[in-house]
Amino acid sequence: MKNYKIKRSSQFTMRALPACIALMASSMLHAQDSNEPKLDEVMVTAQKRSQRLQDVPIAISAISGSQLESRNIGSIADIASIAPNLSISNTPGNNTASQIAIRGGVTINPALFWDTSVGMYVDGVYLGKSQGSVFKMVDLERVEVLRGPQGTLYGRNSMSGAVNFITRKPSGEYGGDISTSIGSYNERITKAAIDLPKAGIASVSLGLRSEDRDGLIKTTPGSSVSSLNGTNQNQSRVAVNLDFSRDFQVDYRFDSSKVDSTSMHSQLYRADIPPLVPYVFKTRQLVASVDGPEQEKSTVKGHSVTAEWKLNSQQTLKSISSTRSMQWDNGMDLDGSPLPFAHTERKSNYKQWSQEFQLIGNAGKVNYVAGAYFFGDEGTTKNPQQYFGGTFNADSNYGFTTRSRALFGQADYALTDKWTVTGGIRSTSETKTIDRDIAFSFAPGAPFNPLIPVGTHGEGTFTATSPLLVAAYKLDPSTNLYAKYAEGFKSGGFNGEHGDLGSSTAANIAEVKTPFRPEKQKTYELGMKTNFANGRGQLNTALFLNKIDDLQLSIFTATGAAASVIRNAGKATTSGFEMEVSYAPTSALRLQASYGYLSGKYDEFIDTGVNVANNRAFVHAPKNSFSLSVDWLMAQTAWGPLRLQSDYAFTDAFYTYPFQLQSSGANYNPGAAVAGNTRVQSNGMLNGRLILNDIKTSAGKMQFSVWGRNLTNTNHIENFIDFGPGFGNLTQAYFNQPRMVGVSAALKW
């Protein structure tokens, strides 16, 4: 088996980590400040009620206030550095779909028929799919990352964790802000938000955002587009609060995101097909030649109504109603060359609705949440594909529906002043359907021959019960310890992209109708949350062990069309350690660091009836990851405070596909792909912003900043597509963005 070594730069980074921690420790011991600075107290709603972050007995990271703005956090793609053992990538070739991994749990396939491992929520509304989940949000107030199963309060598809985005409520007072930013590659970002004066019972806020950027990669004359990796997008938001009485309020939210961009460049990284070999490059190319469709268009809209009725001093009834829709259309030149070798398109439509009822209350020493949840969705995808100059074509289509319902409850009881126990349970039942057809033609303009005929339909029901048990102990006024057992699951379903030319029509129909089972996880966790140095410091740690059964893995195939199928491969164990520390040595300086260690292995991986657990890669599970952040008030100038905000994030190498590890030897299969060929190397990313704030003018307070992303201009591959030996080892690489620098100005009134 090939030995992979961490790059020298990564070794340097890992050697530097103890020094960085030692530097922080030195500051903790020696810093003196007569003002006795305190860390801001962060309030979260991770358990469906407002609590201090340090009092919640789960592994949770939160960021709020000015840090969201100074670190330019506005979407799921921006938060990878805020929590340990959190990894986020764009799906290969896709600007609007995410691969979110928490503690090694991930969904790598953005196809609409598959569910996520990490639940994503906006103002309490679940976003059903990874496709369409990457969009900029206007007026964010707080982001919470919950690590580990959240099956009791969040339910299905939050097996690995959940991410909560909370937007700002209207203030009811006139005010607003407007900002503009210009940067590299002619990047232009404009944002505006306004709060209107309260009118009767209504408080209203409005927000707009637009972003344009030229393509990062130019194309040669005669190409199908003038550039690649460009973006044009617009977001809007409406928030209305109706204050009917002291005990009854209703919040309405509307958000919209429209993206019209050129595709990410599918740079040829490997190919054994002679005509393509001249276009294979191992390093980032700044100029490309393409001939296929290169576009990505997405429209996402959401409406939600949240009503809160305070029944009495102990109980509140809450209702969250929502609808969301998405239209997505993309085209890709998969071979990344001027040859008509591999072109694909997807046209998807998706709708979802949800209704949740919560009863939140307390009775003496008991705090509780109980409720019911209902969810439904439906979607379709048309996926025409063309290969070898039109001599091999696929007309691939699927549609699906989901109807889910759940009952849940969770309560904590204060046994003594020091001991609190929490118990919870959720029962979920859902019914899914699939409609699938695929046909092939073997010459330009030739008729299509069905492999899976129109009308092929599958249906199944999946159930799960998710318990939770937590024991928390207050060691002293500043230190909390907890032990937690939790279960979670990712729903089962049907393979909407299956179509194997090597099998009969009957076998293909049977495969479509046969569901894959839900993936289930049991988690054991020990944690500590403590404050130190008179409130200037905060340290949170967690140890965890996950036991996963009926593990769902996406296997990329090239047995007909380019598609992925989902298999219950078997069993796996992941374990690790997490640490987060914040410290304010002076009132002008705040330091933050996080570290995550992760170990993942298959206990069972059944492939064609054989257990190959020792020869399969565990995906999206970097062994080490850490981040460092500095927020430094450098000076109080005559215009206003000058602040430096900088963060660095490091991620170890990881595999992107669950392929065989061996590339030679007795167990090597030359007809199967090798995981090492699509291994993302370890990398670090440095961002920074210099901010001159609170500049007083007659119109309000202004802010000027100079910023940079990827300041060291690291050049690394973020993701791959590997067609495997059956398709000439055609492999595409998708690189990170180069260094981007710019300036911003903002006015608040």
Q: Residue 713 has what DSSP assignment?
A: -
The DSSP code sequence of 317-375 is: EEEEEEEEEEEEEEEEETT-SSSSSEEEEEEEEEEEEEEEEEEEEEETTEEEEEEEEEE
List strand residue ranges (DSSP E) for 504-562, in order.
Answer: 519-532, 537-557
In angstroms, rounded to a whole number, what is the distance separating the alpha carbons of residues 25 and 191? 39
What letter represents residue 44's amino acid? V
List strand residue ranges (DSSP E) for 6-152, in order.
Answer: 43-44, 51-52, 59-64, 86-90, 98-102, 118-122, 125-127, 140-147
pLDDT of 348: 97
Strands 342-363 and 315-333 turn out to be antiparallel
In angstroms, rounded to a whole number, what is the distance separating the alpha carbons of residues 63 and 44? 10
3-state class of 175 per DSSP?
Answer: strand
Nearest to 144 by CA among 169, 170, 118: 118
What letter represents residue 721's amino acid? I
Strands 231-245 and 248-261 turn out to be antiparallel
Q: Residue 111 has what DSSP assignment?
A: -
Structure tokens of 634? Answer: 């450098």
In angstroms, rounded to a whole number, what is the distance separating the alpha carbons of residues 223 and 23? 52
pLDDT < 70: residue spans in the chain = 1-36, 556-563
In angstroms, rounded to a whole number, what is the distance separating the alpha carbons of residues 497 and 534? 57
Neighbours of 585 (CB within 10 A): 21
In angstroms, rounded to a whole number, what is the distance separating the alpha carbons of residues 530 and 350? 44
In angstroms, rounded to a whole number, what is the distance separating the alpha carbons of residues 679 and 224? 30
In angstroms, rounded to a whole number, what is the distance separating the alpha carbons of residues 110 and 94? 9
Neighbours of 415 (CB within 10 A): 13
Phi-psi category of residue 112: left, alpha or beta, with phi > 0 → left and psi -120 to 50 → alpha: alpha
Distance of CA 226 to the CA centre of its chain: 30
* Domain boundaries along the sequence of the chain: 8-748
In angstroms, rounded to a whole number, what is the distance separating the alpha carbons of residues 659 and 20? 36
3-state class of 242 per DSSP?
Answer: strand
In angstroms, rounded to a whole number, what is the distance separating the alpha carbons of residues 641 and 653? 39
pLDDT of 39: 82
Degrees, nearest 5: CA angle 530-76-544: 40
Nearest to 145 by CA among 56, 69, 235, 236: 56
Q: Residue 667 has what DSSP assignment?
A: T
Number of H helices, E strands in the chain: 3, 40
CATH fold label, 8-748:
Maltoporin; Chain A (2.40.170)
In angstroms, rounded to a whole number, what is the distance separating the alpha carbons of residues 441 and 297? 27
pLDDT of 311: 97
3-state class of 521 per DSSP?
Answer: strand
Which residues on neighbouring strands pair with residue 674, listed in sequence order? 660
Instruction: Give the distance between the most distant pair of CA atoms in the chain.
Output: 82
Residues 430, 403 contacting (CB under 8 angstroms): yes
Beta carbons within 8 Å of 101's beta carbon, 6+ residues apart: 86, 87, 88, 117, 118, 160, 620, 621
Residues 160, 576 contacting (CB under 8 angstroms): no
For 444-468, the pLDDT digits (tens) are 989 999 999 999 999 999 999 999 9
Residues 110, 89 contacting (CB under 8 angstroms): no
Show the 3-state SS of 73-92. CCCHHHCCCCCCCEEEEECC
pLDDT of 9: 39
Nearest to 253 by CA among 139, 375, 405, 120: 139
pTM, two decimal places: 0.91
Find where tokens 């054989």 sit.
Answer: 610
pLDDT of 29: 37
Residues 387, 342 contacting (CB under 8 angstroms): yes
Which residues on neighbouring strands pair with residue 192, listed in sequence order? 178, 208
Q: How many CA atoms lie within 13 A of 230 on its CB side?
A: 20
